[in-house]
Amino acid sequence: MNFFLDIPPATFWNNPSGSNALMIRLALALLIGIAAIFVLLKAPTNYRRPIVGVVTFLSGAFYVMLYLWPVAISRNKGIDAPRNPVEGVAFWLDDAVPVVANFTSIVTAFLLGLGVYSLLRVHGRKVMRKETDWVFSVVLLSSMVLMVFAGYGDWYSRLDPIKAPALELRENWGPINYLRDVLFEGMLQQMDAAMFSLIAFYILSAAYRAFRVRTIEATILLAAAFIVMFSFMGSVEAAWGHMVNPSGNIDNFSNNFTLTEVAKWIRGSIQKPAIRGIDFGVGIGALAMGLRLWLSLDRTGGKS
């Protein structure tokens, strides 16, 4: 089964677009999927963990096989045929990579709606029951509806094969395009930036109130932070450099004591290995966690 030839030949897996055969198969596939959900809902409690475990294992096994199975190198896709079963599996794995990636993207995209659904549930309930601050929930839901309307309207207007290229220029925009631009670029992006920039105030306040050199560790941290911050300040770098190496000749021994060189040395000889050590520790943990997840060795997997 190859989903990705230019114009695929007719097989069991595909039907001409708009044909009755395709509509029937789509309906059947949906019914089978929904039936599978109902069957799973009836599954006994002690079957649940194994079901999740098997699904997780089979998913992980694909990439493990991909990495451990001999690779078909110099393969001419669509022309070469596998010479033996080993090559046959290699070809199948190679063809399946984009399919698996595509399926993963699609399932992830469906799951992105979870957050939106949760917001709709919580705020919808607030409005229906007129709970505290329900007016703000109306504001949220109205903004959401307006953005959906403007977003789809703008997207739909760009589907027109004749008008679409002209819409690259703002002069050719219609009201819906302007509305989307105001909501997305004019408001959403600016508010996103504002929310993240609020942390600057809190960092300043927290550093002022809590950053105290009471211990050796705090002193080292403060000194390192100051050196890094000074190294980001070009005027300080230039002034320090002029003081230490007035001629500016990089071959002078004193050039080693300019802020640029000191910061570069600290970055290369101490900061890099320190963070690399943390990274190695995290990496070992990630490898262990990956193995545990793949084999469902975590404690709570599958239990309600």
Partner 1 sequence: MKYETIRLIFGALATVGLYSVLYRENKMYRFFEHVFLGLASGYTLVAVWTETLKQSWWDPMVGTQTENGVPGQPGFWAYMFLLPIGLMGYFVFSKKNNWLSRIPIGIILGLWSGQQLQVWWNRYGPQLDDSLRPIIPTSFNPMFVPSTKGLPKIEVDAIKAHVYVSTAVSNIIFVITLLSVLSYFLFSFELKAKFMQKTTLLGRWLLMIGFGAIFGSTVMMRFTLLIDRMYFIWVETVWQGILGQK
Partner 2 sequence: MSTKPRSEMSLGEKMQSVPKPILYLVLVLLTSLPLFKELNVPNKPNEASEDFYATVMAVPEGSTILIQSDWTGSTRGESGGEFESLMRILMRRKIKFAVYAAGDPQAPQVVKDSISRVNDERKLSGQPGYKQWDDWISLGNLPNAEAANQAIANNVQTAFPGRKAIPSTGGSPQDVFDSPVLKGHTKLSDFPLLVVVTASNTATIAIERYAGKVKMAQMVTGVMGPETLNYYPKQVVGLVVGLKGVYDIETLMEGGINTADPHTIKDDNGKFQGKSVEGFPGELNKGKATRYYPTLHFAFALLIIAVLIGNIGMFLAKKEAGK
Residue 135: CB minimum distance to partner 1, A? 9
The residue among 34 and 270 lying less far from partner 2, judged by its C-beta, is: 270
Count of residues binding partner 1 (CB under 8 A)? 145
State which of positions 117-176 bind partner 1 (CB under 8 A): 117-119, 121, 133, 136-137, 139-148, 151-152, 155
**x/- contact string, 66-95, with partner 1 (CB under 8 A)?**
-x----------------------------
Indicate the Cα dihedral angle 74, 80, 84, 90, nearest 10°. 50
145, interface contact from partner 1, partner 2, none, CB < 5-8 Å by kind: partner 1
The answer to whether the CB of 93 falls within 8 A of the CB of 66 is: yes
Angle between helices 234-244 and 216-231 (to 10 degrees): 90
- Separation of alpha carbons 156 and 176, rounded Å: 10
| Contact call for residue 262 and partner 1 (CB under 8 A) | no
Q: Phi and psi dihedrals of 275, rounded to 5?
A: -70, -30
75, interface contact from partner 2, partner 1, none, CB < 5-8 Å by kind: none
State which of positions 25-84 bind partner 2 (CB under 8 A): 63
Count of residues binding partner 2 (CB under 8 A)? 62
Please identify, among the stretches 54-62, 72-80, 88-96, 237-245, the one whose residues bind partner 1 according to the rule CB under 8 A. 54-62
The answer to whether the CB of 150 falls within 8 A of the CB of 180 is: yes
* DSSP assignment string, 43-87: S-HHHHHHHHHHHHHHHHHHHHHHHHSPP-TT--TTT---SSHHH
* DSSP assignment string, 244-280: H-TT--TTSGGGGGSHHHHHHHHIIIIIHHHHHHHHH
Residue 144: CB minimum distance to partner 1, A? 4
| Contact call for residue 209 and partner 2 (CB under 8 A) | yes
Please identify, among the stretches 79-87, 89-97, 211-219, 235-243, the one whose residues bind partner 1 according to the rule CB under 8 A. 211-219
Q: Which amino acid is at 165?
A: P
